[in-house]
Amino acid sequence: MKAPVVLILGPLRSAVSGVSTHLNVLFGSALERHFRMEQFQVGSAGRNETLPGRALRLLASPFLLAAAIVRHGATIVHINTSLDAKAYWRDLVYVLVAKLGGARVVYQVHGGAIRVFGKNFLIRKILARTLTWPDVVVVISQIELESARALAPRQRIELLPNGTRCAEILSARDDAPAAAPLRLLYIGRLVDTKGIFESIEALKILRGKGIEARLTIAGSGPEDQALRQSAAALGIEDRVSFAGAIFGEAKLRLLAQADVLMLPSYHLEGLPYALLEGMAAGLVPIVTRVGAIPDVVTPEVHGLFVPPRDPQAVAAALESLHADRAALARMGAAARERVKSHYSVDRVAGDFTVLYRILVGA
């Protein structure tokens, strides 16, 4: 008996994005024992195209998707989307194409926020209707589950959080001496809503108090130069290093050599893979109450919460960890266990195996 075919829509898998990481988790998991996994690439990542070329691709993509469904004999089309205007309208067309092609549709929402995107009365009405089109809607946070169920109470909506490869991350751990400066790490896209500028300002505050801490910023994005200029203007460029975009072993080394994950974000987060990877490595996260972060992190148990846009609060949280290394070690161990027990790749593969089998009637 042939394995059912799952056609997964998402960006280039080598791109730097949470959805690309999610695709790599799915394709490298036990799902491949039960289903034949194929990808249909969407988005501009990894494409060297002109503006007219991009427009042509967008116009052609529904027809190319229909051809891919037929060519692969796809039973399930798994659409990975975010609730921003561009992705939402584009992916609605893909939902319709998949349904017309006779496939069952999994519609997974990664970014944005249903409650925010649907604030406009008309958009809310459209969103409520279109959430009923797929066979199942998948969300990754409790707050999005509640928002989606309020909009589409009769739709099947599943909460399936992200997961990460815990064992390989933890195996590289390199604990620093208790008296060493705190080693801080940010991993992700360099945009101002991620709280990176506030993290740099917090280092300046700590320096004024005679507290040693060093921050490594790993990633790329539009605020790269502005962040470097900020560190220089505050006179702490010697305490901030930029690693650029990192992957594989280089990422594992950075995770192994850090104590604290900096993510005081006020971005419309889903469930950041940086958070899961950092916690799996034993880093204590400094975070805000956005997206699925409160689902993962219990205050004072796995990490510390701070208000958004508040460098003073970030500095105070770092000062407390600097002063209490036993608490730092305790929370780091609890963070590792939290991800290992609830956010592993095996759990993700098991969740989607059950969901896919229900959809194909197996």
Dihedral sign for Cα 20, 98, 114, 336, please: negative
Is pLDDT above 70 for 346? yes
The CATH number of domain 5-163+344-360 is 3.20.80.10: no
**pTM of the predicted protein model:** 0.90
Distance separating the N- and C-terminal Cα atoms of the chain: 12
Comparing C-alpha atoms, which of 148, 139, 16 is closest to residue 81?
A: 139
Q: Decide: helix, strand or coil at residue 329.
A: helix
- Domain range annotation of the chain: 5-163+344-360, 166-342
Q: Between 128 and 111, where is the model more confident? A: 128
For residue 123, the model assigns a pLDDT of 87
In CATH, which of 3.40.30.160, 3.90.1530.10, 3.40.50.2300, 3.40.50.2000 is domain 166-342?
3.40.50.2000
Q: What is the residue whose two structure tokens read 């880093």?
A: 283
What residues contact residue 353 under an 8 Å CB cut-off, 6+ apart? 30, 31, 34, 35
pLDDT in tens, 135-180: 999 999 999 999 999 999 999 999 999 999 876 676 556 666 666 8
> What are the angstrom distances between the C-alpha of 210 and each of 181, 183, 204?
11, 15, 10
Is pLDDT above 70 for 279? yes
> What are the angstrom distances between the C-alpha of 111 and each of 82, 114, 244, 254?
4, 9, 23, 26
Q: Between 131 and 49, where is the model more confident? A: 131
pLDDT in tens, 194-228: 999 999 999 999 999 999 999 999 999 999 999 99
For residue 248, the model assigns a pLDDT of 85
Q: Between 165 and 33, where is the model more confident? A: 33
